[in-house]
């Protein structure tokens, strides 16, 4: 797929490109034992350019009509123009100099209002067969150089997607009924393929926008609470300047809420950057990280009288990003502590390494999770707490998935919650 109009072209580059493109669609070609399978094979391909290239290859090689060149030009309804997107060539019958010239000429955008017969083909959605060189004079050298060519519109309903041009080096190519039916088959299936791909892309974009909207609303809601608290405390402090002790109390609470905002900001930032960031990997002792993360919550654990129990190989090491692994454990511990059941006397968090360190379980005997919510705990923004973004366990799941690991949750309401990491 040629990208820049001014990119320097040579035979070696062009031949390599065609070979690479053919290699890229080898999985489709292997399945295409018959034309009947074309629909199911092509429709499964998510890469639009590969699907089009495969169809061009089939049109040029399978039909054996004498065509040696095939092109797909996409249509821009706003500009009313055609732009080259894909091409396939029979390298056995095209000279070096001709191939280079073809690529260069194909890059010129064509205004269909300056090429009446192309406009007609797109408007009527009817192919134009066996156009002879010189039959139509156009301002585009790409078209004027063609010896014999056929133009196939790719449209669905009123939607115009583009055209396919098949070109040969014979003076005339006869189209019988059978050939025209095959052309119609290709035309219809590419039109349907592009129509369905656009629907899929639009659906994904709508889902993305809905997610962004939900993301924005959730973040605004979560940040609004501590900001409102800070505003209220600042107003109270302003009215109590004569009472330093009271002002100090208000300031302590302001700092507490500010820290909460910082924590939420870090969660949002980490969630947003999960796919883009590539972190440095090192080898670290897992139990050491687990103990370090527990120490960060020591004051809360002592206040709530939660005992932490460690079970497993103290020497087991893991390759990964040390800091991120620590943060993931922190999210799980934070949830376990916040899930505390105050009515229980022997409150605990069990941290267990199994299978030579390949399995990590963090279990608490807190309030547990309702059965209908267990599967939702890894969903973005899902939370049953008054405070929190609902992103902690989502970050855990996505970060582990990115590195080939997995996480699951087990829980019984009123009894326990168990988070299981396998890497």
Q: How high is the pLDDT of residue 310? A: 95
Is 277 contained in some domain?
Answer: no
pTM above 0.85, yes or no: no
pLDDT of residue 6: 40
Identify whether residues 224 and 252 lie together within a single domain: yes
191 domain-assigned? no
- In this structure, what CATH number is given to the domain that contains residue 145? 3.30.450.40
Residue 1: its pLDDT value, please? Answer: 41
Asked if 330 and 394 sit in the same domain, the reply is yes
**266 and 304 belong to one structural domain:** no
Reading the chain (423 residues) residue by residue, the pLDDT tens digits are: 444 444 445 656 666 777 777 676 665 555 555 555 565 666 677 788 888 888 888 888 766 677 888 999 999 999 999 999 988 887 777 776 677 788 888 889 999 999 999 999 999 999 998 898 888 989 999 999 888 899 999 999 889 999 999 988 665 566 778 778 878 888 888 888 888 888 888 888 777 777 767 777 767 766 777 888 898 889 999 998 999 999 999 999 899 888 878 877 877 777 777 666 667 889 999 999 999 999 999 998 999 999 999 998 888 888 888 888 998 999 999 999 988 998 999 999 999 998 766 899 999 999 999 999 998 998 877 877 766 667 889 889 988 888 888 999 999 999 999 999 997
Asked whether residue 185 is domain-assigned, the answer is no
Q: What is the CATH number of the domain that holds 313?
A: 3.30.565.10
- Can you give the pLDDT at residue 330? 92
From 229, 250, 272, the end of a domain falls on 272
Instruction: Please tell me whether residues 95 and 152 are part of one structural domain.
Output: yes
23 & 171 share domain: yes
Q: Are both 298 and 344 inside the same structural domain?
A: yes
What was the pLDDT predicted at 392?
86
Residues 334, 219 share a domain: no
The pLDDT score that the predictor gives to residue 314 is: 84
Query: How many domains does the chain fold into?
Result: 3
| Res 259: pLDDT | 84
User: Does 264 lie in the same domain as 148?
Assistant: no
Q: Is residue 205 part of a domain?
A: no
Same domain, residue pair 264 and 288: no
3-state secondary structure the chain: CCCCCCCCCCHHHHHHHHHHHHHHCHHHHHHCCCHHHHHHHHHCCCCHHHHHHHHHHHHHHCCCCCEEEEEEEEEECCCCEEEEEEEEECHHHCCHHHHHHHHHHHCCCEEHHHCHHHHHHHHHCCCEEEEECCCCCCCCHHHHCCCEEEEEEEEECCEEEEEEEEEECCCCCCCCHHHHHHHHHHHHHHHHHHHHHHHHHHHHHHHHHHHHHHHHHHHHHHHHHHHHHHHHHHHHHHHCCCCHHHHHHHHHHHHHHHHHHHHHHHHHHHHHCCCCCCCCCEEEEHHHHHHHHHHHCHHHHHHCCEEEEEECCCCCEEEECHHHHHHHHHHHHHHHHHCCCCCCCCEEEEEEEEHHHCEEEEEECCCCCCHHHHHHCCCCCCCCCCCCCCCHHHHHHHHHHHCCCEEEEEEECCCEEEEEEEC
Residue 207 lies in a domain: no
pLDDT for residue 69? 87
29 and 145 in a single domain? The answer is yes
Determine the structural domain holding residue 311 and report its residue range: 282-422
Question: Are 155 and 253 members of one domain?
Answer: no
Assess if residue 306 is contained within a domain: yes
Residues 221 and 108 in one domain: no
């Amino acid at each position: 797929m040629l990208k820049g109009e001014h990119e320097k072209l040579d035979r070696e580059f062009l031949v390599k490109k065609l070979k690479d493109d053919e290699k890229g669609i080898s999985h489709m070609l292997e399945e295409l034992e018959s034309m009947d399978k074309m629909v199911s094979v092509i429709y499964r391909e998510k890469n639009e350019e590969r699907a089009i290239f495969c169809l061009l290859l089939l049109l040029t090689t399978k039909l054996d009509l004498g065509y040696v060149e095939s092109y797909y030009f996409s249509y821009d309804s706003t500009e009313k123009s055609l732009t080259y997107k894909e091409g396939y060539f029979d390298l056995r019958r095209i000279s070096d100099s001709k191939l280079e010239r073809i690529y260069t000429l194909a890059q010129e955008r064509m205004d269909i209002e300056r090429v009446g017969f192309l406009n007609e083909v797109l408007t009527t959605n009817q192919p134009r067969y066996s156009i002879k060189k010189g039959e139509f004079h156009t301002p585009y050298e790409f078209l004027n150089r063609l010896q014999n060519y056929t133009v196939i519109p790719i449209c669905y309903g009123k939607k115009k997607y583009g055209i396919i041009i098949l070109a040969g080096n014979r003076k005339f190519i006869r189209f019988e009924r059978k050939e025209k039916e095959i052309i119609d088959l290709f035309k219809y299936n590419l039109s349907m393929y592009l129509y369905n791909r656009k629907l899929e892309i639009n659906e994904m974009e709508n889902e993305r926008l809905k997610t962004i909207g939900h993301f924005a609303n959730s973040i605004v809601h979560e940040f609004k609470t501590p900001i409102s608290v800070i505003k209220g405390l600042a107003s109270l402090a302003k009215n109590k300047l004569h009472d330093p002790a009271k002002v100090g109390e208000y300031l302590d609470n302001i700092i507490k809420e500010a820290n909460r905002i910082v924590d939420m900001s870090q969660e949002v930032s980490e969630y947003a950057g999960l796919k883009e960031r590539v972190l440095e990997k090192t080898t670290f002792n897992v139990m050491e990280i687990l103990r370090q993360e527990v120490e960060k919550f020591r004051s809360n654990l002592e206040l709530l009288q939660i005992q932490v129990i460690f079970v497993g190989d103290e020497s087991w090491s893991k390759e990964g990003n040390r800091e991120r692994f620590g943060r993931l454990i922190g999210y799980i511990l934070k949830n376990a502590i916040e899930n505390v059941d105050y009515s229980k006397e022997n409150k605990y968090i069990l941290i267990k390494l199994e299978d030579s360190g390949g399995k990590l379980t963090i279990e608490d005997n807190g309030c547990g999770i309702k059965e209908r919510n267990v599967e939702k705990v890894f969903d973005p923004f899902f939370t049953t707490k008054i405070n929190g973004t609902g992103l902690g366990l989502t970050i855990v799941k996505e970060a582990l998935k990115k590195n080939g690991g997995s996480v699951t949750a087990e829980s019984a309401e009123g009894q326990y919650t168990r988070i299981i990491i396998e890497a």
